[in-house]
Structure 1
Amino acid sequence: MKFLDWYLKIGVVSALVGASMELFMIKTDDKVTVLESEKRAWENSPEAQAVRDALNPWRHVEAEGTKRS
């Protein structure tokens, strides 16, 4: 019982930090949902596929490897 006040202070501070993190997540949920849907739409677009193909220098080697298998 010597350190009871110390444990209570740690518990209160931990609860406040956790509550503030949850409040932040609740407040930003709509923004994150919009960003994720925009990202998925971009990843499935033909422009994104063209960029992936252009930036992959090994695309010809990978294509030959899959043809041989």
Structure 2
Amino acid sequence: MKHVHWYLKIAIVSAMIGGSMEYFMIKTGFYDKVTVLEAEKRSWESTPEAQAIREALNPWREHDKQAKKSS
């Protein structure tokens, strides 16, 4: 129990740093920008072009399906 004050100081400083980071992100509109970017990403991922790219990048997809069926 010698170092309780030291751990308490670390906890307080860490909470202050984390709080200031959150405050900065809220004031700069970070969360609004991320929300818009995520919405755009999800809408693009549901397009036929994205599906074609995803299928083209996985040459083993048919092989994997057959292996699962035979197991």
TM class, shorter-length: 0.5 to 0.7
Q: Secondary structure at the match of 2:18?
A: helix
Unaligned runs of 5+ in 1: none
**1:61 Cα shift?**
0.6
What is the aligned-residue RMSD (CA, Å)? 3.0
Aligned 1:1-69 pairs, distance under 5 A: 10=10, 13-26=13-26, 27-68=29-70
CA distance in 2, matches of 1:42, 1:51: 12
| TM-score, scaled relative to structure 2 | 0.66
Structure 1's 61 and 13: CA in aligned 2 closer, same or farther, altered over 3 A?
Answer: same
- Which moves more between the two structures, 33-42 or 7-16? 7-16
| TM-score, scaled relative to structure 1 | 0.68
After superposing on structure 2, the runs of 4+ consecutive aligned residues of structure 1 that deviate more than 6 Å are: 5-8
Q: What is the number of residues matched between the two proteins?
A: 68
CA distance in 1, matches of 2:68, 2:6: 62
Q: Secondary structure at the match of 2:33?
A: helix
